[in-house]
Chain A
Amino acid sequence: MLTLPNERGRFGMFGGKFVPETLMRPLADIEQQLHEALADPSFHAEYMRHLYEYSGRPTALTFAKNLTERLGGAKMYLKREDLNHTGAHKINNAIGQALLARRMGKRKIIAETGAGQHGVAAATVAARFGMECKVFMGEEDVKRQALNVFRMKLLGAQVIPVTSGNRTLKDATNEAIRYWVEHCDDHFYMIGSVVGPHPYPMMVREFQRIIGEEAREQMLKAEGKLPHTIIACVGGGSNAIGMFHPFLDDDVECIGVEAAGKGVHTTEHAATITKGTKGVIHGSLTYVLQDEHGQITEPYSISAGLDYPGVGPEHAYLAHIGRVRYESVTDEEAIAALQMTAEMEGIIPAIESAHALAKAFQIAPLRSSNEIILVCLSGRGDKDVQTVMNYLEGDGQK
């Protein structure tokens, strides 16, 4: 399982490279350079140095004492990716890809973003490494996330509003890929999740594995054993893969939590594995939300980071073989979990991460106090305060 993808970029039947011919050579170049970089101890050392000296790793493993007592079941630990520089796990991958881009002699970065977290991470590393950065963002998201747009501009990035389709993450990704097709000779496309054509799902996973590797070590130190259950939210699925991957060969239950939006029985959700079917999106064969004619449909979630109609192909594979269980949590349940975590632990999680927390809160009371649940708290909720306020004041409950 740890050796996937194969040389064709497949995780079982999932993954691959479904892109215009123009991108085949740029992808092959990235793949070759990535393999060389990953085998080069000095590349790894530099990646780790930036994670530790710049992003503030290792991130803490926090025992959620109050939540554990309140829920009255399994012990709950939180892997605190919210404590990273820029406030989420996205920076791990952005640093890795920026180092690879530099190694390849590319000084121009393209990125797509939904809520703006990956856009901010890309803009941040571009500033740090002296690179040019263009961030494609759906016009609708530009409006919803004005603060992050301004952050990116402060960091010196150019934010390009995308007006095609529904003007959200899917469309921003389409436009970033189109721009890349035209400028692949001197631009590096920094994808923010474990999606896209091979080698991106593998590359982003390798740059997010640090989450699970650290958590594993910290857990053994704190408790002398591995957790029984690990829970992480899944949009594209980068924090989840990063968290799960180092535990996949262990006897550890892994649960990925998708966004159920207003409920998986409605059309307003982003529960791709739960409700989707096999299809191709953004260069990869995976589960997709689509109609019977193969047209991609628009997802919905209160969380912009989970509001995506596809999912990383490795998640599709892990679901298919039954190694990871995928469940879903509604807007309402996520917001309630966010409030409870804020009130009881003094941590305001991102709405994305609150989906994982909500699932953990449902499971913990059913488990014995000998068991340990480890939750990936992928990002902090500062960016979401306005959304939560609107929701609680009734806007989101219409």
Chain B
Amino acid sequence: MKHFIPFIVAGDPCEEATIDLAIALEQTGATMLELGVPYSDPLADGPIIQRAASRALKNGMTLTKALTLIGQMRKKGVKIPIIVFTYYNPVLQLGEERFFALAQQNGASGVLIPDLPFEESEHMRTLGETYDIPYISLVAPTSDERIAMIASKAQSFLYCVSSLGVTGVRDSLPTKLHEFLQQVKSYSRVPVVVGFGISTAEQVERLQHVCDGIVIGSAIVQKIEQLQDELNDVHTRQEALRVFSQYVASLIEPLKMRVRKNESETTTKTTKTVSTGQTD
């Protein structure tokens, strides 16, 4: 089974909507969720996610609140693994141990920190093992000889950054992407997923054959932005969620077709790996 990993920002456009969006995404076929914690200076993000972060921050979202939101999602029945996507500074201020304790308490399944590269992340990786919350590593098209090193310590899955640049909606992906994914897969003992720039069903169709999962962020966040007024209003929220789910379903249609084809295959090994935090 291929993973579909949508990304949304906690508190965008409001806390209640974030919970409902998570439920809608699970129902639409998400096998994991990346929950972004809004940050004032998101270096790895393009304009769409920057705007979402600003909206969420204006609503008073914080790292602690975002973790609590995961707890609320769990209470509402969200079962899929939820990965916390946060920049390092909020974690540093909260305290690294406290962060993991809260993440565990609220049912988070992993953590990904885009500005904490391999060399700076040893402490976080160790804490992740202690708290049974895998620390997800990223590899980029520039990683080259670093891939082996990063892959050797990868927990739960490896996140491949598709192209040079920040998150965003891209019309085309690099021609060398397949080669890059193959290279990463050759080193990796854990599933390899790809993200950054993936925003159309065609891209999903082409990529699904060379990776174990696909992350879609900006395209989904952009849809939320378009629907923000309707999502904010409890009277129109259900209809907005229906429109949203329809859009997401169309994006991942190629994956679903594959899922139907492989329905007899029962293994969900990779999902289990994430939720239990085993490294292999």
Contacts and interface: CB of A to CB of B under 8 A. Distances in A.
Contact of A295 (B40, B47, B88): B40
Given A25-B146, A178-B166, A279 B41 contact: no
Interface stretch (B10-18, B89-97, B235-243): B89-97
Given A20-B114, A22-B161, A183-B164, A294 B89 contact: yes
Contacts of A174: 41-43
A202 B82 CA distance: 39
Interface stretch (B56-64, B206-214, B260-268): B56-64
A8 B119 contact: yes
B101 interface: no
Contacts of A25: 142-144, 146
Nearest to A278: B92
Interface in A159-190: 164-165, 170, 174, 177-178, 181-185
**A19, A282, A296 pick with most chain B CB within 10 angstroms:** A19
B119 A165 contact: no
B142 A170 contact: no
A299 interface: no
A316 B147 CA distance: 33
A20 B140 contact: yes
B245 interface: no
B120 interface: yes
Nearest to A16: B120
A335 B117 CA distance: 43
Given A178-B43, A293-B64, A294-B63, A21 B92 contact: no
A20 B116 CA distance: 7
B118 interface: yes
**B43, B90, B140 pick with most chain A CB within 10 angstroms:** B43
B180 to A, nearest CB: 12
B224 interface: no
Contacts, number: 120
Contacts of A281: 41, 89
A115 interface: no
A389 to B, nearest CB: 33
B267 to A, nearest CB: 30
Contacts of B150: 21
A108 interface: no
A280 interface: yes
Given A24-B117, A183-B164, A296 B43 contact: no
A21 B46 contact: no
A330 interface: no
Interface in B37-74: 39-44, 46-47, 50, 57, 62-64
Interface residues of A, number: 38
A296 B40 contact: yes
Nearest to A182: B165
A165 B142 contact: no
Contacts of B139: 21
Contact of A21 (B42, B89, B140): B140
B63 A293 contact: yes
* SS of A interface (majority): mixed
B115 A280 contact: yes
A22 B164 CA distance: 7
Contact of B164 (A17, A19, A181): A181
Contact of A18 (B40, B115, B143, B144): B115
A24 B90 contact: no
A290 B161 CA distance: 29
Contacts of B1: none
B93 A20 contact: no
Contacts of B44: 20, 178, 181
A22 B119 contact: no
Contacts of A22: 140-142, 161, 164-165
B138 interface: yes
B89 A296 contact: yes
A129 B116 CA distance: 35
Interface string A275-308: 0011111110000101011111100000000000
10 contacts: A17-B120, A21-B142, A21-B143, A24-B119, A25-B144, A174-B42, A184-B164, A280-B115, A283-B115, A293-B90
* Top-7 shortest CB links A-B: A294-B93, A294-B90, A182-B165, A22-B140, A295-B40, A293-B62, A294-B89
Interface of B: 39-44, 46-47, 50, 57, 62-64, 87-94, 114-120, 138-144, 146, 150, 161, 164-166
Interface of A: 8, 16-26, 164-165, 170, 174, 177-178, 181-185, 277-283, 288, 290, 292-297
Given A279-B92, A290-B89, 10 more contacts: A18-B116, A19-B117, A21-B146, A24-B119, A24-B142, A178-B43, A178-B165, A288-B89, A293-B64, A293-B90
